[in-house]
C-alpha cells in the first residue's frame, strides 16, 4: 500500500466531507429562499457536516475508495450526501424554483473551486509557496469534479432533477424512476467512459480557470 497515496486520499476524504456539506447546505438555503421552510424545520439549514452526512455515501464508500486507491496507486473519490427534502408545493414558482434549488448545490462546488484557486494564488504571490502544493490543487479539482458529476442528467443527481423539469416528467413517474436511483449511481460509477470524460473535462476547466489568474496548471 502506497503511504503517500493513502495520505493524499485521506486529505481528499476530509475535503470531500466539507464539499458535500456545503453542497447540501446550498440546496437547503435556496429552498428556504424560494419559500419552502422544510429544510430549516429538518435542521438542514446549517453548515454542520453531521446534518448532511449519509453514512454510506459520505463516509463508508469514500473511505473504501481511498484504501482501494492506496493499494492501486490512484485515488478517485465518489459518493453522496443526505438529500435535502423539499416540498414543491411551497415554492413560489414551482418549476423555476425547483431548478434553482437543484442548481444551487453544483454552483456551490464551483464557487468553492474558484475561491480556493484565488486564495491559493494570492497566498503564492504573498510568498506562501506552501499553497502551491499539489494537494491543494487536488482538492480544488475534487470540488470542481463534484460540480460536474452532479450535473449529469441522470436521476437522482441534480442534473436529472433539472432535466425532469425541462421534460415535464410527472411527480409519480419521477418517483418511480428514483426507486432505481442507487442502481443509476452504481452504473455511472462503474462506467470508465463517463469517469474518463468527466475527469478530462474537469481537468480542462481547472486548467482554464487557473490560466485566468496566472497559474500554469497541468493535468491531475
pLDDT by residue (tens digit) across 203-219?
999 999 988 887 776 65
Q: How many whole angstroms separate alpha carbon 120 and alpha carbon 123?
A: 5
Name the domain count of the chain: 1
What pLDDT does residue 218 have? 61
- Asked whether residue 56 is assigned to any structural domain, the reply reads yes
- Asked whether residue 148 is assigned to any structural domain, the reply reads yes
How many angstroms separate the first and last alpha carbons of the chain? 21
Please say if 132 is a catalytic residue.
no
Supply the range of the domain harboring residue 176: 3-212
pLDDT band at 158 (very low <50, low <70, confident <90, very high): very high
Q: How many whole angstroms separate alpha carbon 193 and alpha carbon 187?
A: 11
pLDDT band at 189 (very low <50, low <70, confident <90, very high): low
Least confident of 3-17, 53-67, 151-165, 185-199: 185-199
- Asked whether residue 220 is assigned to any structural domain, the reply reads no
82 DSSP assignment = P
Q: Which pTM value belongs to this model?
A: 0.91
- Asked whether residue 90 is assigned to any structural domain, the reply reads yes
Provide mean pLDDT across the span 123-143: 84
Whether the predicted pLDDT of 21 surpasses 90: yes
Choosing from 12, 13, 19, 24, the catalytic residue is 24
Q: How many whole angstroms separate alpha carbon 157 and alpha carbon 159?
A: 5
- Asked whether residue 219 is assigned to any structural domain, the reply reads no
Q: How many whole angstroms separate alpha carbon 139 and alpha carbon 33?
A: 29
Mean pLDDT score of the chain, rounded to an integer? 89
Q: How many whole angstroms separate alpha carbon 34 and alpha carbon 126?
A: 41
**Which of 108-117, 133-142, 198-207 has the largest mean confidence?**
108-117
- Asked whether residue 92 is assigned to any structural domain, the reply reads yes
The region, left, alpha or beta by phi > 0 then psi within -120 to 50, assigned to residue 207 is: alpha
Residue the block writes with cell 499539489: 134
- Asked whether residue 217 is assigned to any structural domain, the reply reads no
- Asked whether residue 205 is assigned to any structural domain, the reply reads yes
Amino acid at each position: 500500500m502506497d503511504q503517500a497515496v493513502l495520505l493524499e486520499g485521506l486529505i481528499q476524504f476530509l475535503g470531500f466531507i466539507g464539499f458535500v456539506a456545503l453542497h447540501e447546505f446550498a440546496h437547503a438555503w435556496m429552498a428556504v429562499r424560494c419559500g419552502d421552510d422544510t429544510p430549516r424545520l429538518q435542521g438542514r439549514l446549517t453548515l454542520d457536516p453531521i446534518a448532511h452526512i449519509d453514512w454510506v455515501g459520505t463516509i463508508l464508500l469514500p473511505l473504501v475508495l481511498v484504501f482501494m486507491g492506496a493499494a492501486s496507486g490512484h485515488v478517485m473519490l465518489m459518493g453522496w450526501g443526505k438529500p435535502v427534502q423539499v416540498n414543491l408545493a411551497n415554492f413560489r414558482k414551482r418549476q423555476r424554483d425547483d431548478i434553482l434549488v437543484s442548481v444551487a448545490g453544483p454552483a456551490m462546488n464551483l464557487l468553492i473551486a474558484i475561491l480556493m484557486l484565488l486564495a491559493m494564488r494570492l497566498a503564492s504571490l504573498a510568498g506562501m509557496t506552501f499553497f502551491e502544493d499539489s494537494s491543494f490543487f487536488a482538492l480544488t479539482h475534487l470540488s470542481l469534479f463534484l460540480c460536474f458529476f452532479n450535473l449529469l442528467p441522470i436521476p437522482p443527481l441534480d442534473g436529472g432533477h433539472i432535466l425532469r423539469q425541462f421534460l415535464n416528467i410527472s411527480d409519480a413517474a419521477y418517483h418511480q424512476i428514483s426507486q432505481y436511483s442507487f442502481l443509476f449511481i452504481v452504473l455511472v460509477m462503474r462506467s470508465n467512459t463517463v469517469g474518463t470524460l468527466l475527469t478530462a473535462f474537469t481537468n480542462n476547466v481547472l486548467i482554464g480557470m487557473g490560466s485566468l489568474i496566472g497559474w500554469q496548471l497541468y493535468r491531475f
